[in-house]
Amino acid sequence: MSSRETFGSRAGLLATMIGLAVGLGNVWRFPYMVGEFGGAAFILLYLVIAALIGVPALMGEWSLGRHTRLGTLGAYERIGVPGGRWLGWVLCGIVWAAVAYYTNAIGWVVYHALAQLGTGVGLDIDASAILPPETGFSGKSMTLQVFFTALVLSAEAAVILKGVRGGIEKISKIVTPVLFASLLIVIVRSVTLPGADEGIRWLLAFDPGGITPTVAIAALGQVVFSVGLGGTLMLVYGSYLGAEANIRSDAMWTVIGDTGAGLLAGLAIFPAVFAFGLEPGSGPGLLFATLPQVFAELPLGWVFGFLFFGGLSGAALLSGIAAYEVLVAGFTDTLGWTRRRATWTVYGVSILLALPPMINLEIFVPWDLTFGSGGQTFGTLVSVLTVGWVMKRATLLEQIAGPNPSPSDLALVRWLRWVVPTAVFAAAIWWLLTDVLGATQVA
């Protein structure tokens, strides 16, 4: 275990962790959740929950990974979870199914970036052509999705084959700063549009009546989704943390960076949406339907569109690489496979698993709800219960605080044992009621 590869620098570690966490979760999902749940009230609750639940849960997952020096497939068994090997396979199966539909979505973003670039050179490319139809089947959409999904998986495989330092960390140190730079450029253009101030006021206007249990649980679910919790991605990256890594500080900065990306995305999107009289609460279509309309109306809009979708493509790629690495690490750790054999096995099976959700949204959406929202919440609950109730307290304290824990560290362990699992369980119930049972209100 001493020979396990670790991150080469703190800058590379933070770039990797923040890039993983940002992904599509914060630049795509965060803004439309803000739109659906009323703006500033959702943002305030999100910030509080990210600090009180997201940071401790992330610390727990990293502690479990660094202590066991194993990914999902071996960590739960080594730490002593009953049926830990079986549980690891279940979580890896969820990740594999999630890789399939998530890679499809990355392909959509890449295609939108190319469509924006095509506009700049006089090509009329219908970016929506790659999106699955609501129902039925579209041969054009299917062909485009297969091609771009294979392209994205190939890019991810190329990075994975180079390992942690030479692949994952190296690409993260390039892509993560580029994402933030592209968001800042788009923000400058967005907030200077005539009428953009209305969008800024809507985004920042706080209504105490907007703080409701429904909004709080929605914010909690977004924290779980956005930070990359789930007992899988962050767990395996935690296994690559060196002994010198400060889990407390690095977890805090990762969540700050992740949350910052979401807030920047909101500032890039909503002023422009209001400037053109579009609907801020348009849901998941905000990224793929509303924003292309915005860029089409802007002078040189294709430049800003390419910067936005290009930066988002890179961020999405980093989180896709992390999910890919969960599976590769599991096979190399537990089955003794070479990294090359594991990488290409994951590639082939992922292509096959990606085909069903490409057909139409009647398949894609339930796939997302099951393996994305539901699977990730389940994995998070498993990980926080493992950290709080199976992992020895002394071991957890050593990972978080070193040999001399303070009273606040002891309080943090109790928080991880009682409060964090309760909150994640509440998010799981919310997912069950809203996404599975179709309830429109949560009391």
Please check the confidence at residue 2 and state whether its pLDDT lies above 60.
Answer: no
Q: Which domain holds residue 55?
A: 10-436
**Rounded CA separation 226/26 (Å):** 6
Among the residue ranges 290-299, 319-328, 417-426, the one predicted with the least confidence is: 290-299
Q: Mind listing the pLDDT tens digit for each residue in 357-378?
A: 999 999 998 998 899 888 999 9
CATH of the domain at 123: 1.10.4160
CA dihedral 11, 152, 362, 92 (to 10 degrees): -60
Number of independent structural domains in the chain: 1
Count the alpha carbons within 13 Å of 191 in the hemisphere toward its beta carbon: 14
Looking up tokens 């479990």 gives: 64
168 in any annotated domain: yes
Asked if residue 417 belongs to a domain, the reply is yes
pLDDT score, position 443: 40
What is the spatial distance between Cα 66 and Cα 239, in angstroms, rounded to a whole number?
Answer: 4
Query: 119 lies in a domain?
Result: yes
Q: How far apart are CA 70 and CA 66, in angstroms?
A: 8
Radius of gyration of the chain (CA): 21
Please tell me the distance from the alpha carbon of residue 119 to that of residue 309, in angstroms, as a whole number: 13
* pLDDT tens string 14-31: 999 999 999 887 888 888
CA 372 – CA 1 distance, rounded (Å): 31
Q: Are 153 and 103 in contact (CB under 8 A)?
A: yes
Task: Report how far Cα 294 is from the mean position of its chain's Cα atoms.
Answer: 25
Residue at 4 is within a domain: no
* Residue 56: pLDDT band with limits 50, 70, 90: very high
User: To which residue do tokens 């009180």 refer?
Assistant: 52
pLDDT in tens, 91-116: 999 999 999 899 999 999 999 999 99
Single-letter amino acid code for the residue at 363: I
The first and second tokens of residue 433, run together, are 């009621």
Is 69 among the domain residues? yes
Tokens of 13: 């570690």
Confirm whether 293 is domain-assigned: yes
Q: Domain for residue 443, yes or no?
A: no
Considering the domain boundaries, does residue 1 fall inside one? no
**Helix or strand (DSSP H, E) at 146:** helix 139-160
Contact 170, 161 (CB under 8 A): no
State residue 323's pLDDT score.
Answer: 96
Taking the C-alpha atoms of residue 281 and residue 264, their distance in angstroms, rounded to an integer, is: 17
% of the chain at pLDDT higher than 90: 78
Query: What's the pTM value of the predicted model, to 2 decimals?
Result: 0.94
**41 and 211 Cβ atoms separated by less than 8 Å:** yes
Nearest partner of 420 among 44, 50, 56, 21, judged by Cα:
56
Whose tokens are 């991605």? That residue is 233
